[in-house]
Structure 1
């Protein structure tokens, strides 16, 4: 067994994500006070430090697939000592000692999943961040680290993509600061790179005419009507699907969208052919 806590693998992350819904057995450690072992139906055995507090009382240390029993017990003893010495500062000490990867998957993602509709987008942006910083303690990621990541990603990714990665790092760091886990954000002050505004690419007239003609042949099909509506109005797929008849003013030929992808209200002009 390794003498150190290993970086969680994709498999161990999947196991930890489902731990709370498949709990099977819970026992107290016979050697270390406040160390609790929970064995799940999958066979995963995970050590937790119990603070005996009502909110967030249990702090995950590691599973036996990530570290040896000795390492987990040593970590629990260290947490116990820190908790006794400074119970008020224990939370910050605990979270700051976590790896970036563990913090993202155990704390950040579960929290934003409740408030963000675009969780898949967030998860896709997190992958290169975890690959670059996942092994590092949360409180040891520096501005230089982030700027190096920014420069490295720029070699193979577009400016827009790199800017979104940096924005995601800022969001994670801000999340940690707001909860008192970090004193300040290492990403503060890092500017997004300039993105040149390029004209939108459109289909040639010939291709557009062929597309419309083909859709008109299948006008009795719902998908064909939907595509024609999208083409004529410039609305998004989600907007068109959510549009209700009561949101359409047929006299004024205006469709009212209470919420769009940006979260703001939007009006869509309608024409006779759209209706």
Structure 2
């Protein structure tokens, strides 16, 4: 074993025939290694034993980036610190290499887990695929910083997304990193933990009775009967779009007049009462070909549920001369506001909508001022 010197590094011995590289071990400092390649490149390494007496090796640097003296000095430091149990650079290297990229974690762990448990799975998959994969896909989880999250939020706003949409992206990012920390995919902090959430202005747009009549008339003109009946059922029940898209005939009990949603937004099973109008819509859908699928509202392929309701919705709005800003979700608001306006209690409306919290139904309270006035009058006795 030679002594690794500046002269040896500058003029290393020839590499044996048939070999790609030559390794030389220093005769003065145990574990100090010089590696010579056929290309002429020279790299330094150090070997040491960790606290479990396993032999480890770490790269010190390439000649040119470091000198022989610098490499030797660093090798001495590492061996001394490793002997005292203070550092283990190879373990740290392995730890950093084991941290998955954002894409690796989301695709291999987060989305497979969310698919069977979260109703918002499709939204999360879309958030990742449309924007976040390109944004952070190749970054290691520990490389995403709070500043990166703030920059991404601002980018979304510049692209015209509403505060509500930006908040949903932020909540998704926060959940991804919370789970990554919980599952020990990396060590550190959640970069979205303190990300700013904007105050959302809830839209309250309801169809008037004439608009609702025009809406139902327009549905008769839509060629896609599955989509037309799905939109009609949303208006007749106040159900969420995803609940209609995921409805199966086994969930419909016409005798008890109940539609069962196995997994609602609240995470619980809920039962939607079926009015005469809702039953008529379901009967029409059955006769229109719905009976040929397990799905109440199948797509062109009977084996799959309907996915796109936005295009039929846009067509209906045009035919009925409705406000172009109306959303499908506004049918749910319309259902609730109509009931409140006709004297039904907020408790009843909240139950029909499947609200898990009273505060979610309170947005409709102002639509029943007379009932609230009558209730307030009960608080004070009549004055003589």
TM-score range normalised by the length of the shorter chain: 0.5 to 0.7
Identify if the C-alpha distance between structure 1 residues 205 and 187 changes in structure 2 by more than 3 Å, giving closer, same or farther.
same
Identify if the C-alpha distance between structure 1 residues 89 and 111 changes in structure 2 by more than 3 Å, giving closer, same or farther.
farther
CA contact (8 A) 2:252 2:259 kept: no
The 5 Å alignment of 1:1-275 reads 81=57, 92-96=95-99, 98-116=100-118, 118-126=120-128, 127-155=130-158, 156-180=160-184, 181-199=186-204, 201-213=205-217, 226-240=230-244, 241-242=247-248, 244=250, 247=253, 250=256, 255-275=259-279
Identify if the C-alpha distance between structure 1 residues 125 and 117 changes in structure 2 by more than 3 Å, giving closer, same or farther.
same
How far apart are residue 125 of structure 1 and its match?
Answer: 0.9
CA contact (8 A) 2:262 2:270 kept: yes
Cα distance in 2 for residues equivalent to 1:257 and 1:163: 27
CA contact (8 A) 2:181 2:188 kept: yes
CA contact (8 A) 2:119 2:264 kept: no
Please state whether the residue corresponding to 2:271 is helix, strand or coil.
Answer: strand
Q: With structure 2 as the length reference, what TM-score do the two structures score? A: 0.41
CA contact (8 A) 1:232 1:274 kept: yes
What do you get for the CA RMSD once the two structures are aligned?
Answer: 3.8
CA contact (8 A) 1:101 1:130 kept: yes
How far apart are residue 186 of structure 1 and its match?
Answer: 2.0
**Unaligned 5+ runs, structure 2:** 1-18, 21-42, 44-55, 59-87, 280-384
Identify if the C-alpha distance between structure 1 residues 249 and 191 changes in structure 2 by more than 3 Å, giving closer, same or farther.
farther
CA contact (8 A) 2:251 2:260 kept: no
Please state whether the residue corresponding to 2:276 is helix, strand or coil.
Answer: coil
**Unaligned 5+ runs, structure 1:** 1-29, 32-73, 75-79
Greater mean deviation of Cα atoms: 149-158 or 235-244: 235-244
User: What's the counterpart of residue 42 of structure 1?
Assistant: none
Identify if the C-alpha distance between structure 1 residues 269 and 144 changes in structure 2 by more than 3 Å, giving closer, same or farther.
same
How far apart are residue 113 of structure 1 and its match?
Answer: 3.9
How far apart are residue 268 of structure 1 and its match?
Answer: 2.4
How far apart are residue 174 of structure 1 and its match?
Answer: 1.3
Identify if the C-alpha distance between structure 1 residues 112 and 234 changes in structure 2 by more than 3 Å, giving closer, same or farther.
closer
Aligned residues between the structures: 192
Cα distance in 2 for residues equivalent to 1:217 and 1:141: 51
Identify if the C-alpha distance between structure 1 residues 173 and 81 changes in structure 2 by more than 3 Å, giving closer, same or farther.
farther
CA contact (8 A) 1:108 1:172 kept: yes
Cα distance in 2 for residues equivalent to 1:124 and 1:144: 23
CA contact (8 A) 1:129 1:169 kept: no
Please state whether the residue corresponding to 1:273 is helix, strand or coil.
Answer: helix
How far apart are residue 115 of structure 1 and its match?
Answer: 4.0
User: What's the counterpart of residue 9 of structure 1?
Assistant: none
How far apart are residue 212 of structure 1 and its match?
Answer: 2.6
How far apart are residue 107 of structure 1 and its match?
Answer: 4.2
CA contact (8 A) 1:129 1:165 kept: no
How far apart are residue 129 of structure 1 and its match?
Answer: 2.4
Cα deviation per residue 1:154-180 (whole Å; 9 max; x = unaligned)?
223210111111112112211221122
- Larger radius of gyration, structure 1 or 2? 2
Identify if the C-alpha distance between structure 1 residues 262 and 88 changes in structure 2 by more than 3 Å, giving closer, same or farther.
farther
